[in-house]
Amino acid sequence: MNIRIVDASVAAKWFADEQFADDARRLISEDNQLHVPDFFLLEMDNVLVKWIRRGLITEPEGRDVRSVLRQLPIYTHPTGELRDFAYFIANATLRSRSPRSTSRTGCSFYDCLYLALTALLDGQMVTADRRFYEAMSTGPFDKHLLWVED
């Protein structure tokens, strides 16, 4: 059983016909145990609101997606136990490929909550957020990070 932490960039692809959607949908299988921080459904609600405003889906379709999300076998975890580590990750200084160059992650605290959960569960975070993936895949968390297509 693979422990996979999925962020909203991946979960949104479960309901949209866009690049990497098939890859994202393959994560919903008996081979994977899916985990998220407890604010995940709030983040997905925000995605749906944006889609409705842009005319990509209707309000009834948004309600259907919300219902499906609540029925999927996804384990949620309280953010309280993740906050300190996520704060550390968000403010961490990482070495770049050049040994003399360092930089901050530049990642949001919210994204780092997913990564903190990943480290806590010793799983792998799957993301379709290219900026986050590129920022974190060259640092100490690279073994815990998967691009959605992989």
Q: Is the pTM of this model over 0.85?
A: yes
Measure the CA–CA gap between 36 and 32, rounded to whole angstroms.
Answer: 13
Homologous superfamily of domain range 2-39+77-147: 5'-nuclease (3.40.50.1010)
pLDDT of residue 146: 94
Contact 124, 5 (CB under 8 A): yes
Q: Residue 58 — φ and ψ, nearest 5°? A: -95, 165
Residue 103: pLDDT band (50, 70, 90) is very low
**Span 5-12, mean pLDDT?**
98
Average pLDDT score, the chain: 91
pLDDT of residue 105: 60
Domain ranges for the chain, please list them.
2-39+77-147
Measure the CA–CA gap between 92 and 88, rounded to whole angstroms.
Answer: 6
Would you state the structure tokens that stand for residue 38, as one six-digit string? 């407890």
pLDDT of residue 99: 52
DSSP class per residue in the chain: -EEEEE-HHHHGGGGS-STTHHHHHTTSSTTEEEEEETTHHHHHHHHHHHHHHTTSS-HHHHHHHHHHHHHS-EEEE-GGGTHHHHHHHHH-EEE-SSTT-EEE----HHHHHHHHHHHHHT-EEEE--HHHHHHHTTSTTGGGEEETT-
Cα Dmax for the chain? 54
pLDDT of residue 104: 52
Would you state the structure tokens that stand for residue 79, as one six-digit string? 């953010």
Q: What is the 3-state secondary structure (H, E, C) of 9-47?
A: HHHHHHHCCCCCHHHHHCCCCCCEEEEEECCHHHHHHHH
**Span 104-120, mean pLDDT?**
88
pLDDT of residue 135: 84
pLDDT of residue 14: 98
Who wins on pLDDT, 104 or 117?
117
